[in-house]
Structure 1
């Protein structure tokens, strides 16, 4: 017997929370789609096609013969996934966990805190993937990769976004001031954006900073996305990058289950 929507949501309560966020998203999706297309379009046009001509003209040995636009696009794609994971996994969770936030209404129903977490995280993953696919559409339009390679890069994009979102949700649900989230974005996310191989190879950093950069989650996401988009990946290195991000996601979910239960059951 076919499952109706109501029967499915009754059996999987997390889908009710996911449905709530989807209903909210229907009111604003046009604006987010425009931003998801306009931002990569402007970045790639200015830095890839513009600055890239200067870099390519000087035949930089650090890029191993790769055109700068081809090098930059996957890095920006991974960095965008990190930013989307942060934005979707931090501020909405903080607002929702306040006294009059939607979590308070949800936990008053039959949903458990873990159901609320699962439904919200599912929506965050949807947003990261949707923005990533729109970005990939722009990358394909610039001729950096073909459609098949673009679809192959969608997996690393999703993994990068959730690797940031899951731990952030565990923390954001407990934070008492939004300024702490702003501080984290300013002093952690932005430095990662600049020094994790997005705009230039980390081999150009001082040796000690190279060691730090290789341990960061964004570097893993950039390396994995770039390998998927451009090819030539070493299987061992790819496995390390993917396992790092999977472990970070799994750890974030485990901690989130505890923090959501602590916050919403008190």
Structure 2
């Protein structure tokens, strides 16, 4: 096995002891969200959205948003803990591991968490009858792609700050607005022109668009290729930034 796989194994062994704590967020919260927004708010959207019910239209956005939030969540406080509190990274760096091995193994675990959370949400959506197409399973690789776009970049940010206060700032002023204005709860086309361009610059909006096409069985068109490449570009930039910041923190 490669060194990164051993780092991934370390995180998986820890998760085996703590996975029960994530059951609530993985299953119960999606169910409450769909009851509250999909059926509650959706009951007032009598005409539906873009030819489908509000619940069916919103579910793919919620799945993509969940994937983004899990990726950000795993790349903030757990990374801060590995640097500052438990100092796991420094123990791993003392072994014959490179910074890219440490980063790669942890990012792989972040993507595993994204995949598990997305699969759980997909199962809940299936129980609600909110999946219109068999292509809905494509949200799993789409969510992984969204995780690739966000997790390394957020890990780079976490490696650059010294207090978890800055993580709360990130969630309040970056993650929350991104979740609100990326087409999860209403079409991006309803935004003013300036905000519309801002929304399309955010990676989540492209993950929502790809997920919606998959869940609703729509033809994503040739633009889907550019959206995939755009998310990959975010991931590549995030990886190089994270590698640089990890090296600065771990290599003396």
Q: How many Å apart are 1:219 and its aligned residue?
A: 0.7
Q: How many Å apart are 1:220 and its aligned residue?
A: 0.9
1:22 pairs with one of 12, 17, 39: 12
Counterpart of 1:130 in structure 2 is 116
Displacement over 3 Å in runs of 4+: none
Q: Distance in 1 between matches of 2:132 and 2:53?
A: 16
Q: Distance in 1 between matches of 2:166 and 2:24?
A: 29
Q: Is 2:61–2:211's contact at 8 Å kept on the other side of the alignment?
A: yes
Q: Distance in 2 between matches of 1:188 and 1:234?
A: 27
Unaligned stretches of 5+ residues in structure 1: 1-7
The answer on 1:50 being equivalent to 2:40 is: yes
Q: TM-score, normalised by structure 1?
A: 0.91
Q: How many Å apart are 1:146 and its aligned residue?
A: 5.8
The answer on 1:41 being equivalent to 2:27 is: no
Q: Distance in 2 between matches of 1:203 and 1:235?
A: 18
1:1-266 counterparts in 2 under 5 A?
8=1, 12-55=2-45, 57=46, 59=47, 63-98=49-84, 100-145=86-131, 148-266=134-252
Q: Is 1:33–1:131's contact at 8 Å kept on the other side of the alignment?
A: no
Query: Rg bigger for which structure?
Result: 1
Residue 96 of structure 2 aligns to a residue whose secondary structure is coil
Q: Distance in 1 between matches of 2:79 and 2:21?
A: 21
Q: How many Å apart are 1:174 and its aligned residue?
A: 2.4
Q: Distance in 1 between matches of 2:82 and 2:196?
A: 38
Q: How many Å apart are 1:228 and its aligned residue?
A: 1.4
Q: How many Å apart are 1:208 and its aligned residue?
A: 1.8
Pick which of 237-246 and 131-140 moved more.
237-246
Unaligned stretches of 5+ residues in structure 2: none
Output the aligned Cα RMSD. Answer: 1.4
Count of residues in Structure 1 that have an aligned counterpart in Structure 2: 252
Residue 222 of structure 2 aligns to a residue whose secondary structure is helix
